[in-house]
Amino acid sequence: DVKVTQSSRYLVKRTGEKVFLECVQDMDHENMFWYRQDPGLGLRLIYFSYDVKMKEKGDIPEGYSVSREKKERFSLILESASTNQTSMYLCASSSWTDSSYNSPLHFGNGTRLTVT
């Protein structure tokens, strides 16, 4: 089974702090994603990476940056946390070659971030 692991389940940070959310996957997947999930809005893509050091902006990249130095690890960085970044953050991975089901996303358990 694919395992996507997020380093923290719950985080509480203060406004203005720099926040790092870490994600590791163990299935050698090429693609990794960061989403945020808010009630009534569904999952919204923040950033996507299809290879080491490669990144693409998603729908809501403002206030976020990412880093992918190794294939298995994808980090989300909040440069200066704000209260409107309080949310559930979900990391996911997928493979180009998982053609049996057209490369579904495999999700981590999420990090619930509260910014006060």
Contact residues: other proteins, CB under 8 A: 4, 31, 33, 35, 40-45, 48, 50, 56, 58, 90, 94, 101-110
> CA-to-CA distance for 108 and 115, rounded, in angstroms?
21
Nearer residue to other proteins within complex by CB, 15 or 54: 54
Report the nearest approach of other proteins to the CB of residue 109 (Å). Answer: 5
Report the nearest approach of other proteins to the CB of residue 22 (Å). Answer: 16
> CA-to-CA distance for 100 and 104, rounded, in angstroms?
9
- How far is the first Cα of the chain from the last one, in angstroms, to the nearest whole number? 37
Nearer residue to other proteins within complex by CB, 31 or 85: 31
Q: Which amino acid is at 87?
A: S
Q: Which amino acid is at 98?
A: D
Report the nearest approach of other proteins to the CB of residue 95 (Å). Answer: 10
Report the nearest approach of other proteins to the CB of residue 29 (Å). Answer: 11
β-pair type (4-6, 19-25): antiparallel
Q: Which amino acid is at 54?
A: M
Q: Which amino acid is at 109?
A: N
Nearer residue to other proteins within complex by CB, 2 or 77: 2
Nearer residue to other proteins within complex by CB, 17 or 26: 26
